[in-house]
Amino acid sequence: MRLDELGEFGFIARVADFVGEPRGAVVVGIGDDAAVLKTSGEGHLLVTTDAFVEGRHFRREWLSAEQIGTRAACAAISDIAAMGGEALAVFVSLGLPGGEEAAFGEQLMRGIHNVATEYDASLAGGDTFASPSGICLDVVVVGQVDRPWLRSAARPGDILLVSGTLGEAAAAFHLLDSGAAPHAEGLPTALHNRFVRPTPQLALAQALAELAAPPAAIDISDGLAQDAGHIAERSEVALTIEADCVPLSPACYEVAAELGADPVLWALTSGEEYELLLAMPSAHAEQAVAQAQQVGVVLTRIGSVKAGSGVTVLGSDGSPIEFERGGWNHFAPQ
Ligand code: ADP
Ligand code: MG
- Ligand 1 mean position, distance from CA 31 (Å): 6
DSSP secondary structure string, 7-67?
A: HHHHHHHHHHHHH-S--TTEEE-BTBSSEEEE-SSSSEEEEEEEEEEBTTTB-GGGS-HHH
Residue identifier of the C-alpha nearest atom 14 of ligand 1: 31
Read off the pTM.
0.96
Distances (CA, A) of 115 to 79, 162, 231: 14, 24, 28
Residue identifier of the C-alpha nearest atom 1 of ligand 1: 33
Ligand 1, pocket-test mutation among 30, 53, 79, 219, most atoms within 8 A of CB: 30
101: how many CB neighbours lie within 10 A of its CB?
Answer: 10
Residue identifier of the C-alpha nearest atom 8 of ligand 1: 33
Residue identifier of the C-alpha nearest atom 17 of ligand 1: 30
Ligand 1, pocket-test mutation among 12, 151, 222, 330, most atoms within 8 A of CB: 12
Residue identifier of the C-alpha nearest atom 21 of ligand 1: 12
Residue identifier of the C-alpha nearest atom 26 of ligand 1: 30
Taking the C-alpha atoms of residue 327 and residue 37, their distance in angstroms, rounded to an integer, is 29
- Ligand 2 mean position, distance from CA 86 (Å): 14
Question: For position 282, what pLDDT does the model report?
Answer: 96
Report the alpha-carbon angle 293-297-299, nearest 5. 85
The distance of Cα 48 from the centroid of its chain, to the nearest Å, equals: 12
Distances (CA, A) of 184 to 14, 53, 199, 224, 296: 38, 18, 16, 23, 25
What are the φ/ψ torsions at residue 205 (nearest 5 degrees)? -60, -45
- Enumerate the β-bridge partners of residue 96: 130
- Strand 26-28 to strand 35-38: parallel, antiparallel, or no bridges (unpaired)? antiparallel
- Ligand 2 mean position, distance from CA 99 (Å): 33
Residue identifier of the C-alpha nearest atom 2 of ligand 1: 221
Q: Is the backbone of residue 87 left (phi > 0), alpha (psi -120 to 50) or beta?
A: beta
**H runs (alpha helix) in the chain:** 3-19, 65-81, 102-118, 168-177, 189-196, 202-207, 224-235, 250-259, 263-269, 282-294
What atom in ligand 1 is closest to the CA of residue 219?
Answer: 3
- Residues flanking ligand 1, CB < 6 Å: 12, 15, 30-33, 50, 79, 221
- Ligand 1 mean position, distance from CA 30 (Å): 6
Q: Name residues of the chain where pLDDT drops below 70.
A: 325-334
Taking the C-alpha atoms of residue 177 and residue 260, their distance in angstroms, rounded to an integer, is 14
- Ligand 2 mean position, distance from CA 233 (Å): 15
- Ligand 2 mean position, distance from CA 331 (Å): 18
- Ligand 1 mean position, distance from CA 39 (Å): 22
Taking the C-alpha atoms of residue 86 and residue 305, their distance in angstroms, rounded to an integer, is 27
User: Residues, the chain, total?
Assistant: 334
Residues 6 or more apart whose CB falls under 8 angstroms from that of 95 comprise 128, 129, 130, 131, 135, 136, 137
Give CATH 3.90.650.10 domain extents, the chain: 151-314
Distances (CA, A) of 53 to 106, 145, 172: 17, 29, 19
Q: Are 274 and 193 in contact (CB under 8 A)?
A: no
Pick the CATH number of 151-314 from 1.10.10.10, 3.40.50.1950, 3.40.50.2000, 3.90.650.10: 3.90.650.10
- Enumerate the β-bridge partners of residue 90: 123, 141
Distances (CA, A) of 173 to 58, 61, 168, 194, 294: 10, 13, 8, 10, 31
Taking the C-alpha atoms of residue 201 and residue 217, their distance in angstroms, rounded to an integer, is 11
Ligand nearest to the CA of 31: 1
Question: For position 146, what pLDDT does the model report?
Answer: 97
Ligand nearest to the CA of 200: 2
Residue identifier of the C-alpha nearest atom 16 of ligand 1: 30
Is domain 3-145 in CATH 3.30.1330.10, yes or no? yes
Q: Is the dihedral of CA 103, 115, 49, 2 positive or negative?
A: negative
Give CATH 3.30.1330.10 domain extents, the chain: 3-145
